[in-house]
Amino acid sequence: MDLSDTPEEEEFRARLREWLAKVLPTLPARPSPDDWPGRRAYDLGWQRTLHDAGYADVHWGASPTTRLIFLEETERAGAPYVGANFVGLLHAGPTIAAEGTPAQRARWLPHILRGDEVWCQGFSEPDAGSDLAALRTRAWRDGDDYVVSGSKIWTSHAEVADWCELLVRTDPRAPRHRGITWLAMPMDADGVTVRPLRTLAGSAEFAEVFLDEVRVPAANRVGEENDGWRVTLVTLSFERGTAFVGEVVACRRVLGELARAARDNGRWDDPVLRRRIGRLAAEFRALWRLTQWNVSEAEASGGVPGAGGSVFKLRYSHARQELYDTAADVLGPDGLDLDRPWVLDRLSSLSYTIAAGTSQIQRDIVAERVLGLPKGR
């Protein structure tokens, strides 16, 4: 496998670097983490800037390798993260592009790319969590609509979302992995109630969502009725396979900052700390190579990441926690000061072994689909 850039990729990388150097100094200040209306406006504004410059469709319209270059260069330059556009750009959009009808692609994809609409993810439930096959939110057909009742939890960006990628059970008599349907639900529909949840890090990017006989047009169903588990696996493949790519670049940057901070405050004299930083540097380098391998495999298989994404997600979520635990050691007593860099990141890193499927779920996938071991249940 050749991981070096082709001449065309080198030209794309250079052009992108030049554009970022020109446009980033002109951006307004980022809003505070708790200002979700402000964060929505900021994130959509950045997406429109990318769109107007011709970079918005790199998530779906370009090759996986070109997208990898885009994520690497934007993170390296300190460009805004996708933020409120996370679900739309990295989950719902790619799923609709792969599984939606031509009318659905025409309706939703341009608005996501232009930064017109925000999506949230309605997968997890209070009694299901990462075991999505245990979901209980019901939907039944009534004429041209589905009528949905139930509740979701840990719904990312629900407070400012226009649409929700929603999993519902449409056949309660079917086996647990069947009878599920993937719907696009408008968040302003009658019967939708959003209750924000405050996390350990103090932000409210998650919410509980209560659904009381919400009517969703059947035309908003992506894939066939009761075939939602297969469509969901496509969504999760993108989530675990490529959605965290930019964050690996960010972690490598943070690791360099940690080393400099340790040299400045004398902690670098600790050989144990130096070994931890060195091991993490090797770990993130290996994760980056694994990302390139996963992208190469996705490119060869039509653009949808495979089970290798679970290998990446499993190791990345733990490496991220180890990174910010090391940051606490570098900071010493200042590691309890919420206003210091990396402290809130350490708190939020705890969620990464749950987000996008728990580590236990990832181990099951790796055991069954990568190692070929028999199912344990």
Catalytic residues: 239
Parts of the chain belonging to CATH 1.20.140.10: 230-371
269-283 pLDDT, tens digit each: 999 999 999 999 999
pLDDT category, 238, cuts 50, 70, 90? low
The reported pLDDT for the residue numbered 303 is: 57
Kindly report, residue by residue over 179-192, the tens digit of the pLDDT: 999 999 999 999 99
Q: What element of type H or E holds 145?
A: strand 145-152
Model pLDDT for residues 163-209, shown as the tens digit of each residue:
999 999 999 888 878 899 999 999 999 999 999 888 776 777 789 99
* pLDDT for the residue numbered 147: 98
Nearby residues of 119 by Cβ (< 8 Å), 6 or more positions away: 87, 88, 91, 92, 93, 112, 157, 161, 162, 163, 164, 165
151 touches 211 (CB < 8 A): yes
- Adjacent-strand bridge partners of 139: 148
Query: What's the rounded Cα separation, in Å, for the pair 349 and 163?
Result: 27
Angle at which helices 245-265 and 64-76 cross, to 10°: 30
pLDDT of residue 304: 58
The sign of the torsion formed by the CA atoms of 356, 361, 365, 371 equals positive
* Helices 271-300/64-76 angle, 10° precision: 150
pLDDT mean over 349-363: 76
What length does the chain have?
Answer: 377
Task: Please tell me the predicted confidence (pLDDT) of residue 309.
Answer: 76
Q: What's the chain's average pLDDT?
A: 86
pLDDT band of residue 243 (cuts 50, 70, 90) is low
361 or 323, greater pLDDT: 323
Alpha-helical segments (H) within the chain: 7-23, 36-52, 64-76, 86-87, 93-99, 102-114, 228-241, 245-265, 271-300, 308-331, 343-349, 359-365
CATH number at 7-114: 1.10.540
The Cα–Cα gap between 187 and 160 comes to 9
pTM: 0.79
CA angle 306–369–240, rounded 5-degree value: 40
Structural tokens at position 289 = 């190579």
Question: What does 184-223 look like in DSSP terms, one character per residue?
Answer: EEETTSTTEEEEEE--TTS---EEEEEEEEEEEEGGGEES
Q: What percent of the chain has pLDDT over 90?
A: 42
Per mean pLDDT, which range of 11-20, 38-47, 76-85, 317-326 is the poorest? 76-85
pLDDT of 244 above 60: yes
**CA atoms of 295 and 241, how far apart (whole Å):** 8
Q: What are phi and psi of 188, to 5 degrees?
A: -95, 10
Q: Which CATH class is domain 230-371?
A: mainly alpha
Using CB atoms within 10 Å of the CB of residue 81, give its burial: 0 to 12 exposed, 13 to 18 middle, 19+ buried: middle
In this prediction, residues 40-54 reach a mean pLDDT of 94
Q: What is the band of 102 on the pLDDT scale with cuts at 50, 70, 90?
A: very high
Homologous superfamily assigned to 119-225:
Butyryl-CoA Dehydrogenase, subunit A, domain 2 (2.40.110.10)
C-alpha–C-alpha distance, residues 202 and 334, integer Å: 18
Q: Where in the chain is the domain with CATH 1.10.540?
A: 7-114
Residue limits of CATH 2.40.110.10 in the chain: 119-225
* Residue 49 pLDDT class (50, 70, 90 cuts): very high
